Amino acid sequence: MGLKIGIVGLPNVGKSTLFNALTRTAAAQAANFPFCTIEPNIGEVAIPDARLEKLARVAKSQHLVPARMSFVDIAGLVKGASKGEGLGNQFLGNIRECDAVIYVLRCFDDPNVIHVANAIDPISDAEVVETELMLADLESLEKRVNGLDKRAKQGDKEARISLGLVNRALALLRDGKSARLVKPADAEEEKAFRELQLLTAKPALYVCNVDEASAATGNEYSKLVEDYARTHNAGCVVISAEIESQLAQLPDAEEAEFLATLGLDEPALNKLIREGYKLLGLQTYFTAGPKEARAWTIHKGDRAPQAAGVIHSDFERGFIRAQTIAFDDYIALGGEVPAKEAGKARDEGKEYVVKDGDVMLFRFNT
């Protein structure tokens, strides 16, 4: 689907280390000085989903194809970015191209890793980033008001809707709150709000980068961030980028033992990726057969023709119906044929809203 999540934060908070672990590469130079990341690095990651392997076993599939999502490692931000300080203009432009934002916050003490403010304060770090984004949004919206007002007075309905949203966003921003707190009243407002392309309206996830000893339970810094995230309509995940970086280099056979010594059930990256998926309002449906079992990404609320269109636009244009089997039924009954015999394979039409985990087979006109 081409969706991207930007990884942002102040310099030296662990962004590039996290990105390297996510993509299992050393593509992003991780160094102990500001601005070591200048051009944004982009990496695709597979969405961890245990259901796919179960599906492949039942369907006797030769190949597994997981859903994927892109992460973008964006240059470190400093105070004044909204006015072009540091790599500000480039930084803001890179965020604007992303669909959601992960804020990496330093939640560990280490005298050997410098901090641009010479103090460990993840809430202050979050506020620096958020303030720069708010200032950029304020400037962008204030430039639009007069033009929208003029068009609205001339009877332009779209301008009137946009102007109302702009004024609501401006009220929040001037009060030091993000535009994420604007709640569009209907689909029409939702569309107009997206078109404003506000940086602080993007879905957000705060990632607490903790020390190794705090990876399983978090620490006093991460607990502050969890409280902060709740009041800012954002998610929160605790992770040790250093541990995840080590895990990324281990053979699969050694991973479980290493995790057990740390009191972890799975890599925290798996949770981060799933939270990112959820952040974008996405869900998964499956196709399965002898050749491959595959996970497909769609938005929550998508109907069957839209889901078919993710495979190929011809499937959506010529959609007739979709044979649909709930994942649990497919696994419990042993595949497509037994599910049909048990009456668990349904033919769904154009109005069917696809559920997470549906196993689908589309019929369409060529």
Half-sphere exposure of 203 (CA within 13 A, CB side): 15
CB 115 within 8 A of CB 209: no
Is 12 marked within a binding site?
Answer: yes
Closest CA to 43 of 19, 13, 12, 14: 19
Q: SS3 string of the chain?
A: CCCEEEEECCCCCCHHHHHHHHHCCCCCCCCCCCCCCCCCEEEEEECCCHHHHHHHHHHCCCEEECCEEEEEECCCCCCCHHHCCCCHHHHHHHHHCCCEEEEEEEECCCCCCCCCCCCCCHHHHHHHHHHHHHHHHHHHHHCCHHHHHHHHHCCCHHHHHHHHHHHHHHHHHHCCCCHHHCCCCCHHHHHHHHHCCCHHHCCEEEEEEECHHHCCCCCHHHHHHHHHHHHCCCEEEEECHHHHHHHHHCCHHHHHHHHHHCCCCCCHHHHHHHHHHHHCCEEEEEEECCCEEEEEEEECCCEHHHHHHHHCHHHHHCEEEEEEECHHHHHHHCCHHHHHHCCCCEEECCCCECCCCCEEEEEECC
- The reply to whether 113 sits in an annotated binding site is no
What's the burial of 186, exposed, middle or buried (CB within 10 Å: 0-12/13-18/19+)?
exposed
The answer to whether 13 is annotated as binding is: yes
* Inter-CA distances, 281 with 5, 51, 276, 287, 359, Å: 12, 19, 9, 20, 19
Q: Is 366 annotated as a binding residue?
A: no
Structure tokens at 199: 């940086």
Annotated binding site: 12-17
Instruction: Give the residue numbers of the binding site for ATP.
Output: 12-17
